[in-house]
Amino acid sequence: MRSATPAAPEAMSAMLQAMPFACAAFDAANGAMVAANNVYRQEFGALAGHASRDGLRESLRASDIDIDAGREVRAPHNGRWYSLYWRDLALDGRPYEVVTAVDISESIEVLDSHKSRQEKLLFTSRLMSVGEMAATLAHELNQPLATIVNYLNGSLRLVGQAGGPAQVERALVAARTQAEHAAAVIARVREFVRAREPRRDAHDLGEIAATVLELLRLEAERQQLAIKVSLADTLPQVFADKVMVEQVLLNLVKNAIEAMRGVDADGRDLRIEGRVNLDGEVEVRVCDRGPGLTAAEGEQLFSPFYTTKSDGLGIGLAICRSIIEYHEGRLFFEPREGGGSVFGFTLPPAEGRI
Ligand SMILES: Nc1ncnc2c1ncn2[C@@H]1O[C@H](COP(=O)(O)OP(=O)(O)OP(=O)(O)O)[C@@H](O)[C@H]1O
Ligand SMILES: [Mg+2]
């Protein structure tokens, strides 16, 4: 076995030096580096193991791509991408292995940015089809809903005239409230689609919360959940589109209810709080005792289509965020003291705006 490695032939050194990219030659028998050009020394000099074939292979294998199967590797010492080629070479009757490494970082970056552009496009087109779907739904549902409200009004009149049972009357009123809310949401969707401005006015948060609680009453009862509302006495009116803010609060409270599905009945606690924050904005907070959220989950939360529920679309929070941003407010979440999470939003007070 030869242990000493004779110097590389002059011709080899000269040849490597003439190459425009990083090249190095190794003794095929023991893998020691016998020659390298300046580009190689500049680009790989800082890489551990660069001075032997096995060391180099080892260092590059530690990066994410299998050096033997593929040619593209990301060098761990400088983060750049290289196309690697290993070739056998016999010179003066002695076997060598020559490696050349061509820096391909720029093409990879171009590919990456192309890919992310494509992803964005795909995403926009998905959002657009959601928009189209919403427009179609709004169109198709509008008529039957108006008819339902008419029938309910008619029935209420009949029950009133006949002095019918009070339970029936209450049920009819409740059904009408739901149908009217659905109609209002749909009307708003249609306005959105026609790109009309939402209508902002002065509104009481107490009323908004009451509407939302009414809409969620059945669901809360089913989960044996009493939703507490605690608004500061002097809470000013907010400058907002009422139906849109109802939509936001509804989504947040629904999420809170859903987050406590797996919690024992006596551990459940859902509060809606309202106060004026230090910036003078009205701040609404929905507090639950669900499992809370990890930081990683928190980052994805507001992206459209992110959901951990088998029956979720993952657009609730994304919609909330765009509505609140439209209102110059902020949607946020934080861990709740004692466990669970707080989802909140801010809205500007109406004073001075109308
Ligand atoms: N109060 C909460 N506690 C814990 N996790 C929550 C809470 N609110 C939201 N999340 C997490 O954020 C995800 C996204 O919520 P989002 O409301 O956008 O969609 P979704 O509720 O899954 O579906 P949907 O479109 O029906 O609202 C949820 O799937 C859930 O993992
Ligand atoms: Mg939701």
Query: Where is average pLDDT lowest: 163-167, 227-231, 237-241, 258-262?
Result: 163-167
Give the CATH number, domain containing residue 39: 3.30.450.20
Residue 123, in any domain of the structure = yes
How would residue 70 be classed by pLDDT, with cut points 50, 70 and 90?
very low
Q: How far, in Å, from the CA of 313 to the mean position of ligand 1?
A: 9
Q: 183 near 146, Cβ under 8 Å?
A: yes
SS3 20: coil
- Residue 305 carries which side chain, given as an amino acid letter? F
Residue 214, in any domain of the structure = yes
What pTM was estimated for this model as a whole?
0.57
Q: How far, in Å, from the CA of 325 to the mean position of ligand 2?
A: 18
Mean pLDDT score, 103-130: 70
Show the ligand 1 pocket: residues with CB < 6 angstroms. 251, 255-256, 259, 288, 290, 293, 301, 306-309, 312-318, 341, 343
Domain end marker among 163, 196, 229? 196
Mean pLDDT score, 163-186: 88
Distance of alpha carbon 83 from alpha carbon 106, whole angstroms: 12
Q: Determine the residue of 272, 317, 321 to mutate for testing ligand 1's pocket, defined as the one with the most ligand atoms within 8 A of the Cβ atom.
A: 317
Q: How far, in Å, from the CA of 307 to the mean position of ligand 1?
A: 6
The residue count of the chain comes to: 354
Q: In this structure, are 147 and 264 located in the same domain?
A: no
pLDDT given at position 247: 85
Mean pLDDT score, 307-321: 85
Long-range contacts of 44-49 (CB under 8 A, 24+ apart): 44/75, 44/77, 44/101, 46/77, 46/78, 47/75, 47/76, 47/77, 47/78, 48/77
Tokens 């490695």, residue located: 5
Distance of alpha carbon 27 from alpha carbon 5, whole angstroms: 7
Concatenated DSSP letters of 53-111? HHHHHHHHHTSSS-TTT-SEEE-TTT--EEEEEEEEEEETTEEEEEEEEEE-HHHHHHH
Provide the number of structural domains found in the chain.
Answer: 3
Query: Where is average pLDDT lowest: 2-6, 161-165, 198-202, 275-279?
Result: 2-6
Ligand nearest to the CA of 301: 1
For CA atoms 61, 65, 66, 71, give the dihedral sign: negative
Give the CATH number, domain containing residue 145: 1.10.287.130
Ranked by mean pLDDT, the top range of 53-62, 118-127, 224-233 is 224-233
Query: Where is average pLDDT lowest: 24-33, 240-249, 296-305?
Result: 296-305
pLDDT given at position 106: 85
Query: Where is average pLDDT lowest: 35-39, 143-147, 190-194, 292-296?
Result: 190-194
How would residue 67 be classed by pLDDT, with cut points 50, 70 and 90?
very low
pLDDT given at position 108: 81
Mean pLDDT score, 301-306: 82
pLDDT given at position 1: 42
Q: 232 near 276, Cβ under 8 Å?
A: yes
Percentage of residues in the chain with pLDDT exceeding 90? 44
Q: In this structure, are 274 and 177 located in the same domain?
A: no
**C-alpha torsion angle, residues 133, 134, 135, 136 (rounded to 10):** 50
- The pLDDT tens digits for 20-49 are 889 999 999 999 999 999 999 999 999 999
**In the predicted structure, residue 215 carries a pLDDT above the cut 50:** yes
Residue 3, in any domain of the structure = no
98 Rama sector, left if φ>0, alpha if ψ -120 to 50, beta otherwise: beta
Q: In this structure, are 277 and 344 located in the same domain?
A: yes
How would residue 51 be classed by pLDDT, with cut points 50, 70 and 90?
very high
Local structure of residue 309 (DSSP, 8 states) = S
pLDDT given at position 303: 81
> Which of residues 111 and 68 earns the better pLDDT score?
111
Ligand 1 atom closest to 290 (CA): 3
Distance of alpha carbon 86 from alpha carbon 102, whole angstroms: 12
- The pLDDT tens digits for 322-337 are 889 889 999 999 999 9
Characterize 229-251 residue by residue with b for buried, 16 or more Cβ atoms within 10 angstroms of its Cβ, and e for exposed: eebeeebbbbbbbbbbbbbbbbb
How would residue 351 be classed by pLDDT, with cut points 50, 70 and 90?
very high
Residue 83, in any domain of the structure = yes
Protein residue with its CA nearest to atom 9 in ligand 1: 255
How would residue 130 be classed by pLDDT, with cut points 50, 70 and 90?
low
Residue 80 phi/psi, 5-degree rounding, is -95, 155
Q: In this structure, are 164 and 129 located in the same domain?
A: yes
Please, which residues have CB less than 5 A from ligand 2, an ion? 255, 316
> Which of residues 342 and 6 earns the better pLDDT score?
342
Q: 185 near 198, Cβ under 8 Å?
A: no
How would residue 128 be classed by pLDDT, with cut points 50, 70 and 90?
low
Protein residue with its CA nearest to atom 8 in ligand 1: 255
Helices (H) and strands (E) in the chain, counts: 9, 12
For CA atoms 303, 308, 310, 311, give the dihedral sign: negative
Mean pLDDT score, 242-249: 88
Domain end marker among 55, 81, 103? 103
Q: How far, in Å, from the CA of 345 to the mean position of ligand 2?
A: 15
pLDDT given at position 74: 85
Per the structure, the complete domain to which residue 181 belongs is given by 115-196
**In the predicted structure, residue 225 carries a pLDDT above the cut 80:** yes
Domain end marker among 71, 103, 135? 103
Protein residue with its CA nearest to atom 10 in ligand 1: 255
Mean pLDDT score, 195-214: 86
Residue 4, in any domain of the structure = no
Percentage of residues in the chain with pLDDT exceeding 70? 87
**In the predicted structure, residue 188 carries a pLDDT above the cut 90:** no
Distance of alpha carbon 211 from alpha carbon 178, whole angstroms: 10
Token representation of residue 177: 């409230």
Distance of alpha carbon 245 from alpha carbon 229, whole angstroms: 16
pLDDT given at position 125: 53
Ranked by mean pLDDT, the top range of 120-129, 148-157, 192-201, 209-218 is 148-157
SS3 273: strand
